[in-house]
Structure 1
Amino acid sequence: MAFWKRLILGVLTVCLLGIYILCVKLEGPLSWSIEPLRHFHGFIQGPSSSSRDSEEPLDRKSNSDRWSRPSPTSIFHPELLSTTALQEKTPAHTPAPTSETQTAAEQQQQPAESTSRSEAVGETRSSTRGPTLKPPQFTEPPFIGDTYMGEDVPPQTNCTDGVRSRVAQTEFGGRFLRRIPVLQWADHLSREQYQRLSQYPGAHGWGGIDYNSLVETLSVLNSSANRQMLDDWSDRSNRSECSRCAVVGNGGILKDSKKGKEIDSHHYVFRTNGAIIKGFEQDVGSRTTHYTFSTNTLMNSMRSYAGLGYKGPPLSQETRYVFLPDHDRDYLLMKAAATHVPVERGPERAKDPTKFFGEDVTAEKLKMYHPDFIRYLRNRFLRSSALKTKYKDIYRPSTGAVMLLAALHSCDQVSAYGFMTPDYKNYSDHYYDSNYHPVGFYINHDLRMEMTLWQQLHQAGLMRLYMH
Structure 2
Amino acid sequence: MSHFDCAEEIKHAENINGEQLLSFWEGFFQIHTVDGKEDYSMQSSQGYEKAIITQKNTLVGAILATDGDKKRVFEVKSEHFDTFLKESPFPNKTYSSCAVVGNAGILANSSCGKDIDSAEFVIRCNLPPLRNGYEKHVGVKTDLVSANPSILLQKYDSLLGSRRKFMEKLCQYGSSMILLPAFSYVKNVALCMRAFHTIQDFGSPMQPIYFHPEYLKDLDTFWRSQGWEAVRLSSGMIVTSMALELCDTVDLYGFWPFGLHPQTFKELTNHYYDDMTGRRGFHAMPEEFKLLLQLHSEGILRLHLGDCESNGE
Q: Does TM, scored on the shorter chain, surpass 0.5?
A: yes
435 and 230 in structure 1: CA distance in 2 versus 1, 3 angstrom threshold = farther
Deviations 1:301-358 (A, max 9, x none): 558xxxxx996345444311111233235433444455x4xxxxxxxxxxxx23xx78
SS of residue in 2 equivalent to 1:176: coil
Equivalence for 2:302: 464
Q: How well do the aligned residues superpose, as a CA RMSD in angstroms?
A: 3.7
425 and 169 in structure 1: CA distance in 2 versus 1, 3 angstrom threshold = same
Does structure 1 residue 247 correspond to structure 2 residue 100? yes
Superposition map of 1:301-340 within 5 A:
312-313=169-170, 315-325=172-182, 326-338=184-196, 340=197
What is the deviation of 1:193? 5.8
Does structure 1 residue 280 correspond to structure 2 residue 134? yes
What is the deviation of 1:171? 6.0
**Rg comparison, structure with higher value:** 1
> Does the Cα contact within 8 Å between 2:228 and 2:291 map onto a contact in 1?
no
Deviations 1:26-75 (A, max 9, x none): xxxxxxxxxxxxxxxxxxxxxxxxxxxxxxxxxxx9xxxxxxxxxxxxxx
The residue type equivalent to 1:221 in the other structure is F
- State the distance in 2 between where 1:275 and 1:358 align: 23
- State the distance in 1 between where 2:217 and 2:194 align: 26
SS of residue in 2 equivalent to 1:409: helix
The residue type equivalent to 1:270 in the other structure is I
What is the deviation of 1:277? 1.5
- State the distance in 1 between where 2:142 and 2:91 align: 13
Q: 5+ residue gaps in structure 2? A: 1-28, 158-164, 262-267, 307-313
397 and 193 in structure 1: CA distance in 2 versus 1, 3 angstrom threshold = same
327 and 178 in structure 1: CA distance in 2 versus 1, 3 angstrom threshold = closer
Equivalence for 1:380: 222
> Does the Cα contact within 8 Å between 1:288 and 1:314 map onto a contact in 2?
no
Q: 1:297 aligns with which of 151, 174, 193?
A: 151
The residue type equivalent to 1:375 in the other structure is K
What is the deviation of 1:252? 0.8
Does structure 1 residue 261 correspond to structure 2 residue 130? no
What is the deviation of 1:359? 2.2
Equivalence for 2:21: none
> Does the Cα contact within 8 Å between 2:145 and 2:179 map onto a contact in 1?
yes
Equivalence for 2:58: 189
358 and 411 in structure 1: CA distance in 2 versus 1, 3 angstrom threshold = farther
189 and 449 in structure 1: CA distance in 2 versus 1, 3 angstrom threshold = same
> Does the Cα contact within 8 Å between 1:205 and 1:372 map onto a contact in 2?
no
What is the deviation of 1:259? 0.2
> Does the Cα contact within 8 Å between 1:253 and 1:424 map onto a contact in 2?
no
SS of residue in 1 equivalent to 2:241: helix
Equivalence for 1:148: none
401 and 302 in structure 1: CA distance in 2 versus 1, 3 angstrom threshold = farther
- State the distance in 2 between where 1:268 and 1:399 align: 17
Does structure 1 residue 203 correspond to structure 2 residue 60? no
417 and 329 in structure 1: CA distance in 2 versus 1, 3 angstrom threshold = same
What is the deviation of 1:286? 1.3
What is the deviation of 1:380? 1.7
What is the deviation of 1:190? 5.1
Q: 2:202 aligns with which of 354, 359, 366?
A: 359
What is the deviation of 1:367? 1.1
Identity of aligned residues (%): 24
TM superposition score normalised by structure 2: 0.67
Does structure 1 residue 428 correspond to structure 2 residue 269? yes
- State the distance in 2 between where 1:254 and 1:439 align: 17
Superposition map of 1:388-399 within 5 A:
395-399=231-235
Q: 5+ residue gaps in structure 1? A: 1-60, 62-166, 234-240, 304-308, 341-352, 387-394, 441-445
Q: 2:89 aligns with which of 228, 242, 257?
A: 228
- State the distance in 1 between where 2:191 and 2:238 align: 20
255 and 217 in structure 1: CA distance in 2 versus 1, 3 angstrom threshold = same
Does structure 1 residue 418 correspond to structure 2 residue 254? yes
Superposition map of 1:67-106 within 5 A:
none
What is the deviation of 1:297? 3.3
> Does the Cα contact within 8 Å between 1:245 and 1:269 map onto a contact in 2?
yes
Deviations 1:103-149 (A, max 9, x none): xxxxxxxxxxxxxxxxxxxxxxxxxxxxxxxxxxxxxxxxxxxxxxx
169 and 428 in structure 1: CA distance in 2 versus 1, 3 angstrom threshold = same
- State the distance in 2 between where 1:447 and 1:429 align: 15
Equivalence for 1:101: none
SS of residue in 1 equivalent to 2:274: coil
> Does the Cα contact within 8 Å between 1:248 and 1:271 map onto a contact in 2?
yes
410 and 420 in structure 1: CA distance in 2 versus 1, 3 angstrom threshold = same
- State the distance in 1 between where 2:240 and 2:260 align: 22
